[in-house]
Amino acid sequence: MADCCKLRVMHCGDVNMDRALPYREKTWHPAPHTGLFRSKSKRVTTPVSAYLIEHPQGRVLIDTGWHVEMRDNMKKHIGFPNSLAFRGTLPEGSAVHEQLEALGLTPRDLDFVILTHLHADHVSGLPLVRQAKNILTTQAEWVAANREFGYNKKMWNGVKIDTFEPQNIPFGPYQKGLDLFGDGLLHLVFTPGHSRGQLSVLVKVEGGYVLLATDVGYSTRSWNEMILPGVVVDEKQARDSLQWVRDFSRRPDCLAVLANHDPDVAPCVY
């Protein structure tokens, strides 16, 4: 059996937002991340990423990118208040199921879809892969997404999502998460703060580890300079998670740390 995974980085559209959403700003504005009453010059466009992991025991998709509805009716699809804060585009051929098809795969070929958290830009495309064998997120994220403001529950309406409570693992700010296949090659790492139950994903590839830092930070600048995202639900947890990403990035066996929305990360294969 192989002792590592193969990781494919995919861009499933992009998102345009105020720069204070990825990088917290000190300003007089009470909510700069919304972009309201802010200059268009302060807006940035970044990719919306998903990841396909080929593990010796199965295929795993991390997040789902934008749904094809973004092409025709973006505001209706992402809903309020998301439509105030950001807008997205999805070029032809870049939806997650379209990229799978280009690889000769269908959603039924996916053993797991892992939802790092349930914000719109991570779960919008979920109905496109609803035929995957298992769809999984943390219990904390599931509870928050169905109770708290800022989520769009219609994006998982009718989709069976299973949840788990983080277990003891040797990684993460709290050493909690899940060894998905039990062999140490693919860990779901509990890194809350941006959302209640957010996960990062640690993948053993040839030559070392790649850490998918999801929205713990938005680029290498985030953890190098310890800049929190503009939206967090728990300040201490967000800082603990970002500090752990920073520390892990400095390990000699860390090949790369990839933020979901980093414009400097191009589609590639590890």
CATH number at residue 91: 3.60.15.10
Closest CA to 204 of 254, 135, 141: 254
Q: Is residue 1, in this structure, part of any structural domain at all?
A: no
* pLDDT value for 133: 99
Count of other CB atoms within 10 angstroms of residue 224: 11
Structural domain including 22 reads: 6-269
Q: Is residue 124, in this structure, part of any structural domain at all?
A: yes
Amino acid at 73: N
Closest CA to 20 of 36, 5, 9: 36
**What span, in angstroms and rounded, lies between the C-alpha atoms of 43 and 259?**
18
pLDDT 10s digit of each residue in the chain, 270 long? 579 999 999 999 999 998 888 899 887 777 777 767 677 888 999 999 999 999 999 999 999 999 999 999 898 898 877 777 888 999 999 999 999 999 999 999 999 999 999 999 999 999 999 999 999 999 999 999 999 988 999 999 999 999 999 999 999 999 999 999 999 999 999 999 999 999 999 999 999 999 999 999 999 999 999 999 999 999 999 999 999 999 999 999 999 999 999 999 999 999
Q: Is residue 144, in this structure, part of any structural domain at all?
A: yes
* pLDDT value for 37: 62
Provide the CA 197 distance to its chain's centre, in angstroms. 12
Local structure of 69: helix, strand or coil: helix
> How many domains does the structure of the chain reveal?
1
**Residue 254, strand partner residues:** 209
* pLDDT value for 76: 87
* pLDDT value for 36: 73
Q: Is residue 89, in this structure, part of any structural domain at all?
A: yes
